[in-house]
Amino acid sequence: MAEEKGKNPKGAGKSSFDLIDLKKISDVLPVKPGSVVLDLACGRGDYSVYFSEIVGEQGLVYALDLWEEGIMLLEKRIEKQNITNIMTLISDAARQIEIDDYSVDMCLMATVLHDFEEAGQAEAVLKAVKTILKPNGCLAVLEFKKCDGPPGPPKHIRLSEKEVDDLVLGHGFKKGSSVDAGDYTYLLTYRSLC
C-alpha cells in the first residue's frame, strides 16, 4: 500500500497466523508439492514459511510486502532455517506486482483486504492479482469476522463475506468455498476465470 517513506504500512507487524485453524484452511486450499504461491502483504512471513513446507523444493512461495522491516525479519528466518523456496519482494501491491503473468497457482491475502479497501486500493490490488494467477488459479481471502474485537481491526473496518464477494467477483473470479477458519476469522476462496 502506498505509504510515506519511512512510515510502516497499516497493520505492519500484526499477524493472524496464530488465530486460525491451519487444518481447516489447509483442507480447502489447493496447495501441494510444486505449487507456486503468493503471500500478498506477507508481513513477517508466517504463512510464507508454512506454505514453503507444503510446496517443497519443486515449489515456490513469493513473500511480498511493502513493510521492509517485516521482509528483513523473514529473510533472517529464511537464512536461519535454510529455506530455499521463498522469494521475498518489497513492493506496493496496489502499484505493481513484479511476478510473471499467469504464473501463480494461489494467492493468499491473509487479513489484509480490509486494509487495502480502507486505503481505496482494493480494486488495483485485485486487478493485479488476477493478472498473475494462472487460469483457474485460486485467490484465498482470510478476513476477520465482522464483529467487535480485539483481536483484529475495529468492526467498521472489517469486511463481511458479502462485502468480500462484492469486491472480488467483479474482477474475473468465481466463488469457491467459505470456511470458518477459527474463532475470529473466515476464509473465502475464488477461482480465476480464463
What digits encode the pLDDT tens for the residues 5-42? 445 555 555 678 989 999 999 999 999 999 999 999 99
The C-alpha atoms of residue 9 and residue 69 are separated, in whole angstroms, by: 11
Task: Evaluate whether residue 12 is within a structural domain.
Answer: no
Task: Evaluate whether residue 77 is within a structural domain.
Answer: yes
Which residue, among 137, 152, 154, has the nearest Cα to 186 in the 3D structure? Answer: 152
Task: Evaluate whether residue 186 is within a structural domain.
Answer: yes
- Looking at residue 15, its pLDDT comes to 75
pLDDT at 194 over 90: no
Task: Tally the domains of the chain.
Answer: 1
Q: At 44, list the grid cell.
A: 513477517
CATH number at residue 144: 3.40.50.150
3-state secondary structure of 134: strand
- Looking at residue 149, its pLDDT comes to 80
- Work out the burial of residue 138: count CB atoms within 10 Å of its CB; fewer than 13 is exposed, 13-18 middle, 19 or more buried: buried
Q: Which region holds residue 5: left if phi is over 0, alpha if psi is between -120 and 50, else beta?
A: beta
- Looking at residue 132, its pLDDT comes to 96
Q: Could you identify the residue written with the cell 479497501?
A: 117
Task: Evaluate whether residue 179 is within a structural domain.
Answer: yes
150 confidence band (pLDDT: 50, 70, 90): confident
- Looking at residue 9, its pLDDT comes to 55
Task: Evaluate whether residue 9 is within a structural domain.
Answer: no
Task: Evaluate whether residue 10 is within a structural domain.
Answer: no
What would the pLDDT profile of 153-189 be if each residue is shown by its tens digit? 999 999 999 999 999 999 999 999 999 999 999 999 9
Looking at residues 81-90, what average pLDDT do you find?
98
What would the pLDDT profile of 90-111 be if each residue is shown by its tens digit? 999 999 899 999 999 999 999 9
Task: Evaluate whether residue 84 is within a structural domain.
Answer: yes
> Domain range spanning residue 22?
18-192
Task: Evaluate whether residue 11 is within a structural domain.
Answer: no
- Looking at residue 11, its pLDDT comes to 54
